């Protein structure tokens, strides 16, 4: 090949997101390292593959207050890219949003990150734009106006739950087609984060796609983790996927017949290679009562990193008249909560109690201080009044109550909607279910 062939002026990028750095899943330091390792893997692939950029669609961090170790680890990975002259283009997700400047800006000032916005960032022959996560209450104000570009291709990067890729879970979500119609730039690709399973669809010649998370932020994320490769060529985007190796998750579903119990569960579990794995056991069917702790200690003896045992039989009994899915007990709790017309404050406190990122011993203190803040700000009353569709409206007067505490969210209904929200897909879900039985 010679000269300016199409292939040579093509732009090729990795589209990744939902990295959730700093997430100590199951309260294990090993899991926190796993999330960083997955990010490093994506960066290594980008360098080896000589892609033109890594595009990150939000939720680089699990929490708005990453620890120093997480920041240092992140900088290390970003340096891998920088040393190889691979730009890292990013938007801010819902998990990491802060009100007083974003972590991405810190990395930006170090020359390691380019934060995408309404102005074009041109890489190769493609203009990249960004739209950070926007809370539902502020979406009506969005104009989707972007500065024009003169590149051959363009892509919009954003973070949120967009229909039709993510079904409407009962509240009004962002609609991808509405955004693309309203935008004054005709994008070839709409690169998204937030939904942790990879998805794609085409809307009027534009690929709309979720890259999926790079580590399993919840046990619901069974399928292989990975990222998208997006090529911009001939006036269109082409998508492909590549998987990455991550810690083994072993999913064992045991269907007990009558009279069967612990021995049968052990027998089924023992058929799997458990070394260093996260083992998720689901017990279904009939049979005897099985103490989860006994299954978990059996699994620990066989070298697993950790085990979680869910006995689905007990949920089925007490909640048969609820129209919810029990694929994940935490999803069920959320569904139930949404239907209970709790005030925003009550939901926020519930969130604090259930959020795994708070150590159990901190829950009482955090709830107490949060309630104290609300009372002091007179927000408690306002929040109760605003228990309708848009509880965040009460935030207008309660702005001063913002204290960036863990477990606190800008918009409680927003995060409560995230179907794969890792902090709620955590294992304390079983305890949470108990509260409703
Ligand atoms: Mn996420």
Q: Check if the beta carbon of residue 356 is closer than 8 Å to that of residue 426.
A: yes
d(CA 316, CA 124): 55
Q: Of the residues 95, 153, 159, 196, which is catalytic? A: 95
**For residue 331, what pLDDT is reported?**
53
Residue 27 is among the residues annotated as catalytic for this protein: no
- Tell me what pLDDT residue 173 has: 76
Output the pLDDT for position 124.
96
pLDDT, position 189: 98
Distance CA 49, CA 285 (A): 48
Count of residues making up the chain = 437
Residues with pLDDT less than 70, the chain:
1-9, 171-172, 314-437
342 CA → ligand 1 middle, Å: 25
Q: What is the predicted pLDDT for the residue at 87? A: 98
d(CA 29, CA 227): 24
Distance 268 CA to ligand 1 centre (A): 33
Question: Which 3-state string (H, E, C) describes the chain?
Answer: CCCCCHHHHCEEEEEECCCCECCCHHHCHHHHHHHHHHHHHHHHHHHHHCCCEEEECCCCECCCCCCHHHHHHHHHHHHHHHHCCCCEEECCCCCCCCCCCCHHHHHHHCCCCEECCCCCEEECCEEEEEECCCCHHHHHHCCCCCCCCCCCEEEEEEECCEECCCCCCCCCCEEHHHHHHHCCCCCCEEEEECCCCCEEEEECCEEEEECCCCCCCCCCCCCCCEEEEEEEECCEEEEEEEECCCCCEEEEEEEECCCCCHHHHHHHHCCCCCCCCEEEEEEEECCCCCCHHHHHHHHHHCCCCEEEEEEHHHHHHHCCCCCCCCCCHHHHHHHHHHHCCCCHHHHHHHHHHHCCCCCHHHHHHHHHHHHHHHHHHCHHHHHHHCCCCCHHHHHHCCHHHCCCCCCCCCCHHHHHCCCCCCCCCCCCHHHHHHCCC
pLDDT at 172: 59
Q: Which pLDDT score, from 0 to 100, does residue 91 have?
A: 97
Adjacent-strand bridge partners of 279: 250, 307
Cβ atoms of 313 and 283 closer than 8 Å: yes
Per-residue pLDDT, 337: 52
- Domains of the chain, first to last: 9-243 (3.60.21.10), 251-304 (no CATH), 322-437 (no CATH)
Give pLDDT tens digits for 288-297.
889 999 999 9
For residue 120, give the nearest of 112, 130, 111 by alpha carbon: 130
Q: What pLDDT score does 373 carry?
A: 43
Tell me: the pLDDT tens digits for 202-231?
999 999 999 999 999 999 999 999 999 999
pLDDT at 99: 84
Ligand 1 centroid – CA 409 distance (Å) = 14
Return the biggest CA–CA distance within the chain: 74
Q: What is the predicted pLDDT for the residue at 158?
A: 98
Give residue 134 CA to ligand 1 midpoint distance, Å.
14
What six digits make up the tokens of 326? 């029990």
Give the pLDDT score at 312.
83
pLDDT of 339 reads 46
Whole-number Å distance, alpha carbon 211 to ligand 1 midpoint, is: 11
């Amino acid at each position: 090949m010679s000269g300016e062939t199409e292939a040579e002026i093509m732009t090729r990028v990795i589209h990744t997101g939902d990295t959730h750095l700093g997430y100590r899943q199951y309260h294990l330091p090993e899991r926190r390292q796993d999330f960083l390792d997955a990010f490093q893997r994506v960066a290594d692939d980008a360098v080896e593959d000589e892609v033109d950029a890594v595009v990150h669609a939000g939720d680089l961090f699990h929490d708005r207050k990453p620890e120093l170790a997480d920041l240092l680890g992140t900088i290390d990975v970003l340096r891998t890219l920088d040393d190889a002259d691979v730009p890292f283009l990013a938007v801010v997700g819902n998990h990491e949003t802060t009100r007083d400047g974003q972590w991405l800006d810190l990395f930006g000032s170090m020359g390691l990150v380019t934060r995408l916005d309404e102005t074009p960032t041109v890489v190769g022959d493609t203009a990249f734009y960004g739209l950070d996560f926007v809370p539902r209450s502020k979406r009506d104000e969005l104009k989707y106006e972007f500065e024009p570009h003169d590149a051959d291709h363009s892509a919009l990067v954003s973070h949120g739950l967009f229909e039709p890729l993510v079904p409407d879970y009962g509240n009004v979500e962002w609609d991808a087609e509405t955004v693309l119609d309203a935008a004054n730039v005709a994008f070839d690709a709409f690169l998204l984060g937030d939904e942790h399973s990879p998805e794609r669809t085409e809307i009027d010649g534009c690929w709309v796609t979720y890259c999926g998370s790079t580590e399993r932020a919840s046990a619901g994320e069974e399928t292989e983790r990975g990222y998208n490769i997006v090529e911009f060529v001939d006036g269109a985007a082409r998508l492909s996927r590549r998987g990455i190796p991550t810690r083994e998750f072993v999913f064992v579903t045991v269907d007990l017949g009558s009279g069967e119990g612990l021995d049968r569960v052990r027998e089924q579990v023992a058929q799997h290679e458990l070394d260093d794995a996260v083992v998720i056991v689901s017990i279904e069917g009939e049979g005897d009562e099985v103490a989860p702790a006994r299954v978990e200690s059996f699994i620990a003896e066989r070298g697993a990193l950790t085990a979680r045992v869910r006995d689905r039989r007990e949920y089925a009994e007490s909640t048969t008249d609820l129209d919810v899915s029990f694929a994940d007990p935490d999803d069920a709790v959320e569904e139930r909560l949404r239907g209970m017309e709790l005030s925003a404050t009550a939901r926020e406190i519930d969130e604090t109690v259930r959020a795994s990122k708070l150590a159990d011993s901190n829950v009482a203190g955090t709830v107490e201080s949060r309630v104290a803040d609300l009372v002091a700000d007179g927000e408690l009353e306002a929040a109760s009044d605003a228990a309708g569709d848009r509880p965040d409206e009460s935030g207008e007067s309660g702005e001063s109550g913002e204290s960036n505490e863990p477990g606190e969210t800008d918009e409680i209904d927003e995060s409560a909607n995230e179907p794969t929200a890792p902090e709620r897909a955590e294992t304390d879900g079983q305890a949470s279910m108990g509260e409703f039985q």
